[in-house]
């Protein structure tokens, strides 16, 4: 690659160098251009072998468009004239994983730059055997955190079945609970050095005996020997934060907004007392955490959309959101995240110039006629950029309508707006329900769990401890 410096940032050039010609992991924060770096690392005229891209279903068309765009940019940087002989062939697999096998193999025989894009669910299909029959120049594994569970069929297919000269693993959230979740990707990068999962687990995963009913089980709780782990990962893993490589980006400003429940307070307090009584009666057991989380969700649904649990009152959160949208500068888009698809659809019906996108919906960009986009957490978290509308308006207002107790999901959601192309500050508003008396609600317990990165069990403990203190 001669000189892509005119199109990529210096830190992106470093990422290309890290990936090019070998198996490696790129774990940068969202918004720094992992897709672009992986494409540039594989667009090399000296290697015309086929490239396989594994990406989420809704991201396939975006990845295909990126390949066509950045290949053209690469050719311009190289002063190469595009002709039918060197234009890339991009084959996008169908939903069931099927693709035009003849077109693909004809392009490979002609030594055309051939890319096949499939999605994670297709690795279960019969058509996946066609992928196993090819020796790939490279396999790009997008949103590679889906390999954290080494026991799934998808992980096993990538880890043991696919054949390639090198693999590129892209994700911003490589691990959730412990370093052992990195092992499937590391094994694929260097099968000799990382041949034993349990050896890696024993060296770098901290465990703690946790009681589940009458049993005591060794449970992974974090990192062991962090300095040694950093040395082991350094040759294969590149992981950067926006604050370090792009300090010029405008800031993210987060504001917590207290929403008074007013007329819903009595109903909320009744449900909360009932939840506490049920928890005391039930006691500890194998389903202790999941049962408590279900009760917390029921309380949060009341503050989100009372109709979710059979009440007809209007949520004070919706009233605040209506006033907020009326107060933003004319034409400025507002992105709203909620935990519940019914809430997203309800808001889209009751807010001006709004639409919703929930699981299963097709998303082809933020329409120019829409000022407010209501989405569920996770629906658009993988590979979808939300920093601009299709007509170029910059998104700088984000509302967390329902609080999500996973800090990883929260950060991913913000990063979909706060990207390398951002030129305005991103203003994030967290809506936190408050009872008429000023007392806290489950939303405050979620904020407390987020501050301490305490996870499910920490949220449950905070919730029960607060109610216990209030009933004394």
Average pLDDT, the chain: 86
Tell me how many degrees the CA angle 18-19-24 measures, rounded to the nearest 5.
Answer: 95
Do 229 and 243 meet the contact criterion of CB atoms below 8 Å apart?
no
What confidence tier does 380 reach under pLDDT thresholds 50, 70, 90?
low
Do 274 and 63 meet the contact criterion of CB atoms below 8 Å apart?
no
Which runs of E-coded beta strand occur in 70-204? 89-92, 114-119, 135-142, 163-170
Whole-Å CA distances, 35 to 168, 194, 284, 308, 471: 11, 26, 46, 39, 53
With both helix axes pointing from N to C terminus, report the angle between 455-471 and 265-282 in degrees, rounded to the nearest 10: 110
What confidence tier does 408 reach under pLDDT thresholds 50, 70, 90?
confident
What confidence tier does 2 reach under pLDDT thresholds 50, 70, 90?
very low
Which runs of E-coded beta strand occur in 412-455? 426-434
What confidence tier does 406 reach under pLDDT thresholds 50, 70, 90?
confident
What confidence tier does 76 reach under pLDDT thresholds 50, 70, 90?
low
Interval 205-251: pLDDT, tens = 998 877 655 666 777 878 999 999 999 999 999 999 998 998 988 99
Confidence (pLDDT) at 78: 61
The share of the chain scoring above pLDDT 90, in percent, equals: 45
Question: Which has more confidence, 238 or 276?
Answer: 238
Question: Which has more confidence, 82 or 316?
Answer: 316
Confidence (pLDDT) at 196: 96
The CA R_g of the chain, rounded to the nearest whole Å, is: 24
Checking if the pLDDT of 11 tops 70, the result is yes
Checking if the pLDDT of 40 tops 50, the result is yes
What is the average per-residue pLDDT within 384-399? 87
Question: Which has more confidence, 284 or 175?
Answer: 175
Burial pattern 290-318, b for ≥16 Cβ within 10 A else e, equals: eebbebbbbbbbbbbbbbbeeeeeebbbb
What is the average per-residue pLDDT within 14-32? 93
Say whether 269 sits in a helix, a strand or coil: helix
Say whether 371 sits in a helix, a strand or coil: coil
Going 223 to 228 to 230 to 233, the CA torsion angle's sign is negative
Checking if the pLDDT of 377 tops 80, the result is yes
What is the average per-residue pLDDT within 298-310? 92
pTM to 2 decimals? 0.78
Please give the span between the terminal C-alpha atoms of the chain, in angstroms, as a whole number.
70
Distance, in Å, from the CA atom of 194 to the CA atom of 187, rounded to the nearest integer, reads 5
Checking if the pLDDT of 284 tops 70, the result is no
Q: Which tokens sit at 304? A: 């989100």
Checking if the pLDDT of 137 tops 50, the result is yes
Confidence (pLDDT) at 14: 95
What confidence tier does 35 reach under pLDDT thresholds 50, 70, 90?
very high
What confidence tier does 106 reach under pLDDT thresholds 50, 70, 90?
confident
What is the average per-residue pLDDT within 281-307? 82
Checking if the pLDDT of 354 tops 80, the result is yes
Place of tokens 């959730």: 176
């Amino acid at each position: 690659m001669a000189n892509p410096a005119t199109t990529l940032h210096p830190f992106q050039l470093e990422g290309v160098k890290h990936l090019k010609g070998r198996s490696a992991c790129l774990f940068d924060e969202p918004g720094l251009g992992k897709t672009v770096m992986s494409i540039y690392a594989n667009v090399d005229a000296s290697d015309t072998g086929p490239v396989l891209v594994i990406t989420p279903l809704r991201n396939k068309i975006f990845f295909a468009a990126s390949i066509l765009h950045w290949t053209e940019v690469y050719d311009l940087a190289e002063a190469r004239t595009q002709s039918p002989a060197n234009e890339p062939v991009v084959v996008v697999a169908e939903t069931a994983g099927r693709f035009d096998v003849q077109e693909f193999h004809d392009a490979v025989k002609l030594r055309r730059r051939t890319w096949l894009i499939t999605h994670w669910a297709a690795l279960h299909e019969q058509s996946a055997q066609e992928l196993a029959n090819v020796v790939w120049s490279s396999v790009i594994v997008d949103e590679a955190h889906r390999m954290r569970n080494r026991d799934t069929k998808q992980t096993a297919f990538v880890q043991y079945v696919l054949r390639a000269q090198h693999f590129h693993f892209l994700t911003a959230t490589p691990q959730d609970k412990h370093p052992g979740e990195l092992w499937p990707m590391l094994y694929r990068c260097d099968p000799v050095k990382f041949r034993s999962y349990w050896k890696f687990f024993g060296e770098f995963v901290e465990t703690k005996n946790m009681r589940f009913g009458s049993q005591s089980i060794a449970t992974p709780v974090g990192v062991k020997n962090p300095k040694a782990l950093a040395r082991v990962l350094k040759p294969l893993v590149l992981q950067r934060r926006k604050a370090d490589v792009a300090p010029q980006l405008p800031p993210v400003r987060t504001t917590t907004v207290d929403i008074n429940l007013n007329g819903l307070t009595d109903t909320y307090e009744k449900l909360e007392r009932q939840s506490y009584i049920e928890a005391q009666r039930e006691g500890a057991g194998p389903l202790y955490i999941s049962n408590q989380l279900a009760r917390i969700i029921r309380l949060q649904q009341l503050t989100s959309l009372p109709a979710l649990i059979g009440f007809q009152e209007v949520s004070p959160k919706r009233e605040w959101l209506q006033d907020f949208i009326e107060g933003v500068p004319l034409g400025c888009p507002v992105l709203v995240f909620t935990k519940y698809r019914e809430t997203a659809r309800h808001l889209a019906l009751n807010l001006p110039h709004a639409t919703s996108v929930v699981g299963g919906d097709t998303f082809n960009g933020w329409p120019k006629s829409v000022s407010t986009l209501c989405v569920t957490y996770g629906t658009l978290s993988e590979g979808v950029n939300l920093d601009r509308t299709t007509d170029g308006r910059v998104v700088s207002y984000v509302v967390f309508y329902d609080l999500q107790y996973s800090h990883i999901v929260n950060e991913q959601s913000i990063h979909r707006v706060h990207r390398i192309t951002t030129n305005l500050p991103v203003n994030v508003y967290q809506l936190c329900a408050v009872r008429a008396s000023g007392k806290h609600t489950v939303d405050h317990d979620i904020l407390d769990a987020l501050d301490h990165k305490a996870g499910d069990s920490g949220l449950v403990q905070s919730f029960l401890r607060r109610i216990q203190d209030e009933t004394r």
